[in-house]
Structure 1
């Protein structure tokens, strides 16, 4: 290890110094090691004398050569940070080692940290563990926390959660914010300690009050979601804001979400956009995705499809499924990017593989139709099923459609009915119409015209034109419904407006069959339909 102190001592100017400084310096000149260190300290901090890092280095060196551990430690710090001397991490290790071997805990901690990170010395987690353990045994809170992390993760030490918790607790009791946060997480997950939400919250509060950004974010999240605490958007915003002010990207993003979705007075499009921008500047994928949506829709900003595409791409390349889905959709429409069905399927497929619900349904449609991918009914079935099993109603309906195809290997009328019924029961109009058709024709079910009528009504009330047409025909024929030409006319008129093929001709036929009184009521019916 080389020595960087063969240098001329910088001249000092002690004019205007305090009497205390002059007294200490006189002792230092007489060879008192403690006074030499104290003189260096006073120069370093500008205490009783003008700040002079060169003089601080000079006097620390004298004390260090006398074997004073604290001076050796401070020389290590100055070399590590490049204060008053060129930054030299190897020299820092040299001085820390001299102090650490004398049992000085802060030097042992710093030496452990440098071995753990491979700074100024080859990375060696075993040596890091050894130095942290020596410092921790002396009660050094930082070393206890770091040692706890090694036992929690099994890096540099056998995994031992109970031991990790004990070390975190010892450190946390001294007010170490990171240890308080780590202990809170252990209590929350029940790792190394019995799961205890209230203990987790208590330690989160302590860490948050000590300024730990991660704890502030987690406390905000609990207030935001009502997890272990009464839901309180104002308190959530308070803690998010404190963490966000320290540059915590997820807190910045969540604060943006709060301002985007909360009730007034928290709701603010301007503030939401501001926090999304801050988080996006740190490459937070969720913020990039939300910002992309704003540019795509012109929400709070001028619409810019090219900018939206760039933001979606940044987040998509981080593996964020929502952004992958949105980026893929841009290739479909050619908004801000060239149309490319293959790229659309690629990005939407990546999102689907990560469980993105809409992407899974979309991939089902693409595999079904052969859009951007080879047509593959089995693959379509796979993707529809994944989305359907999560309760996505359009996917449940499409499974019914696929199982209803006579020429498909997946043809199964009973299975088709079961999927149509699931979607229909949740109010999906196309599935309700499909159930009406099945009861009308006896396809996969026992024919039941009254049941068919009931399903057609549910679909028709949602504006399904073909269901409206069928209801009109049923009333006109008295088939599964009471014979009622006025009701038939009303449904057929609605079906015509919805674009149902054959509705106009059927309506005209119904009109021809009406008596004078019924014809007279047509004008009233038309007026009611206009009002509706």
Structure 2
């Protein structure tokens, strides 16, 4: 309709027809009347037209235009009464499109070029007859024989869009050229496009520029917009951003939505004018009023992010809704986000799913990945792993790096498990700049998953991921520098990358940063900083880390000793299922550390720890049964738990099991087995086992008597802090057992033993 409105001389009659018959515009009889009036004043072949309308009126259907002729004394005597009667008849009877079409057809067959154009339009739009593109084309073709520029323009459009005829760029160009030379601004505009792109003719940007210039200077807003493009991009003229801005401004002020959009872009990016996001927003807003869904999406985005306007979630939602309903897949995607997160509307997972689905079905690969996730997790729809996989695959094949990463994970973890395919998708995702794909690709290269092991490539991909801010990539890069994986060992760089990972909230990075501070790797040793980072690391709910924090509070490592906090952290760890935490929580209830003593709770937590396979918990539980703490005394159960602990490699359990075999507690007395278990305990560094092994060698219990070995094991036990070992070592020096007599040394060891509370001294 815009093209008809800007018609050159002779187009008023057709324009009246378009208003009368609601073709590409709102029906408006007043405007139709005005156009017919202009056409009449312009000297159309009124005599013939009058005769046809007279015949049309007699057969019903041409009353309105006939009334116009009577009213304005066109090729007939002025007669207001007849004019009124015709208008009244037209109003009461309504237009009869079929009859009108027949009269236009008769007129067209009689050679009237305007009627031929109208008949073409009727066939084109299916008004009063069946839509027929081929017949429309033929009638437009007849109309142009009389030199009608409108028909020439429409004919060019038919050739370019292959409507009712074979596509023919050259003919398209020729008809636009004729139309343009005849003064039709739409022909001129499309001719400029032909020269601009090279449709049906050799590309000639200078000629394109000239035709756009002619249009623009004549006030055509489309020409002004395209002229702005020429100046902005240096098409057919010297690049001039200020002139580009000026022409966009003219186009925009003329109401052209494309000009308004481009003017907004200029203000947005400071092209030919000062950057002004508020003005940019205002012009984008005007542009979006044309109902263009892409522009509506941009307005929603600006309300979402507060660009050039105040952030407004309700308006954000409304504009995304408009865009989505207009079929824009990005608008549909963001509308899904609004429903998912409750932005500007109530949360609604089902509606979110529906909009994501529309977007995904429209080919939006971001939405396809989201739909996959919804099916994967049953969000807003029924859980369906197969559909999830198919949507992930579509997203991945569409080039979405998130989809490629996820489909790689599917192939890696079991949905159609195939590590080689997983590697290939991670590679695509990584090459597309996805930091998660880069990280997982690094893992593949480091471990030879789906590809040949290549530590240097692993290092390179971890580096890419890390530099883009992926905290897991930063953590693994730190490992590479610390251990020399794919690069030279560098403690300082390891420390720096762990620091970045830790500051990004990565609990593994925080833990390894703690390790660096604990051991002075790439930095000075600092137990306090080590503790602080371990504390942050433990906030992720990891029960093992919670246990370590409890241990540090309990022993004052890197922090002030605090038994109540130690108890609280052991409790968290224990409830999280950590068997070390459960054992130490049992110790707290046993010794009243940070809480009241409680034998029953002590037993309960030792039992949990023991059942979880913890050798310390098993040994502690054995102690409860042997001493009847929190339960009935049961030596057989004590023996069984000591046995489990000992077989698990626990030196305390091994020593206690040795005691059971020595004294026949819960089992048959067996000094040889006792010796073997004391030996294991002693070799494991247990000072109590070392002392008992000394007894065995001194007295020949379960083994051959050997005083030198007895002395050596007492010595190890004494150095380990066992008061009995210290006392027995003192006896060895005093009596020359396995060593030279030395009363002074003997006295010194007795003193240490006494200070540790040994009453035998």
Instruction: Name the CA shift for 1:166/1:525 in 2 (closer, same or farther; >3 Å).
Output: farther
Equivalent in the alignment of 2:203: 124
Equivalent in the alignment of 1:394: 472
Equivalent in the alignment of 2:451: 373
Equivalent in the alignment of 1:18: 62
How much has 1:188 moved relative to structure 2? 0.9
Alignment of 1:330-341 (within 5 A): 330-335=410-415, 338-341=416-419
Structure 1: 5+ residue runs without aligned partners?
1-11
How much has 1:360 moved relative to structure 2? 2.6
Deviations 1:444-495 (A, max 9, x none): 4444445544444444454444445545655676766677888767766765
1:432/1:456 contact within 8 Å kept? yes
Equivalent in the alignment of 1:99: 179
Aligned equivalents of 2:480, 2:432: Cα separation in 1 = 24
Instruction: Name the CA shift for 1:498/1:215 in 2 (closer, same or farther; >3 Å).
Output: closer
Instruction: Name the CA shift for 1:367/1:107 in 2 (closer, same or farther; >3 Å).
Output: same
How much has 1:97 moved relative to structure 2? 2.7
How much has 1:332 moved relative to structure 2? 0.6
In structure 1, the residue corresponding to 2:310 is in which secondary structure?
coil
Equivalent in the alignment of 2:349: 269
Aligned equivalents of 2:355, 2:480: Cα separation in 1 = 45
Q: Match for 1:382 among 460, 463, 471?
A: 460
Q: Does the alignment pair 1:167 with 2:242?
A: no
Aligned equivalents of 2:550, 2:167: Cα separation in 1 = 89
- With 199-208 and 496-505 compared, the bigger mean Cα shift is at 496-505
Q: Does the alignment pair 1:137 with 2:137?
A: no
Aligned equivalents of 1:265, 1:251: Cα separation in 2 = 15
Count of residue pairs the alignment pairs up: 508
Equivalent in the alignment of 2:300: 220
Instruction: Name the CA shift for 1:174/1:274 in 2 (closer, same or farther; >3 Å).
Output: same
How much has 1:441 moved relative to structure 2? 3.9
Q: Does the alignment pair 1:311 with 2:388?
A: no
Aligned equivalents of 1:260, 1:367: Cα separation in 2 = 37
How much has 1:215 moved relative to structure 2? 2.4
Equivalent in the alignment of 1:415: 493
How much has 1:202 moved relative to structure 2? 1.8
Equivalent in the alignment of 2:597: 520
Equivalent in the alignment of 2:266: 186
Aligned equivalents of 1:518, 1:341: Cα separation in 2 = 52
Aligned equivalents of 1:270, 1:511: Cα separation in 2 = 50
Q: Does the alignment pair 1:195 with 2:272?
A: no
Q: Match for 1:243 among 317, 323, 347?
A: 323
Equivalent in the alignment of 1:112: 192
Instruction: Name the CA shift for 1:150/1:404 in 2 (closer, same or farther; >3 Å).
Output: same
Instruction: Name the CA shift for 1:37/1:357 in 2 (closer, same or farther; >3 Å).
Output: same
Instruction: Name the CA shift for 1:522/1:193 in 2 (closer, same or farther; >3 Å).
Output: farther
Give TM-score scaled by structure 2 length: 0.57
In structure 2, the residue corresponding to 1:164 is in which secondary structure?
helix
Equivalent in the alignment of 1:5: none
Q: Match for 1:255 among 323, 335, 338?
A: 335
Q: Does the alignment pair 1:230 with 2:274?
A: no
Equivalent in the alignment of 1:6: none
1:45/1:51 contact within 8 Å kept? no
Aligned equivalents of 1:92, 1:363: Cα separation in 2 = 52
Aligned equivalents of 1:42, 1:456: Cα separation in 2 = 83
Aligned equivalents of 1:216, 1:326: Cα separation in 2 = 31
Deviations 1:214-260 (A, max 9, x none): 32221111012211211112212222232333322222222222222
Q: Does the alignment pair 1:434 with 2:512?
A: yes
Instruction: Name the CA shift for 1:174/1:408 in 2 (closer, same or farther; >3 Å).
Output: closer
In structure 2, the residue corresponding to 1:228 is in which secondary structure?
coil
2:144/2:152 contact within 8 Å kept? yes
2:459/2:487 contact within 8 Å kept? no
- With 169-178 and 449-458 compared, the bigger mean Cα shift is at 449-458
Instruction: Name the CA shift for 1:196/1:488 in 2 (closer, same or farther; >3 Å).
Output: closer
Deviations 1:97-125 (A, max 9, x none): 32322333222123333454555x24634
- How much is the aligned-residue C-alpha RMSD, in angstroms? 4.4
How much has 1:204 moved relative to structure 2? 1.1
1:172/1:179 contact within 8 Å kept? yes
1:181/1:214 contact within 8 Å kept? no
Aligned equivalents of 1:484, 1:254: Cα separation in 2 = 50
In structure 2, the residue corresponding to 1:520 is in which secondary structure?
coil
Give TM-score scaled by structure 1 length: 0.78
Deviations 1:317-352 (A, max 9, x none): 3322111111211111231xx222222122222222
1:40/1:58 contact within 8 Å kept? no
Q: Match for 2:422 among 305, 330, 344?
A: 344
Aligned equivalents of 1:39, 1:20: Cα separation in 2 = 16
- With 460-469 and 136-145 compared, the bigger mean Cα shift is at 460-469
Aligned equivalents of 2:356, 2:554: Cα separation in 1 = 58
Instruction: Name the CA shift for 1:98/1:522 in 2 (closer, same or farther; >3 Å).
Output: same
Instruction: Name the CA shift for 1:460/1:92 in 2 (closer, same or farther; >3 Å).
Output: closer
Deviations 1:52-86 (A, max 9, x none): 79999898777744445445445555666788x65
Instruction: Name the CA shift for 1:275/1:159 in 2 (closer, same or farther; >3 Å).
Output: farther
Aligned equivalents of 1:357, 1:363: Cα separation in 2 = 10
How much has 1:391 moved relative to structure 2? 3.7
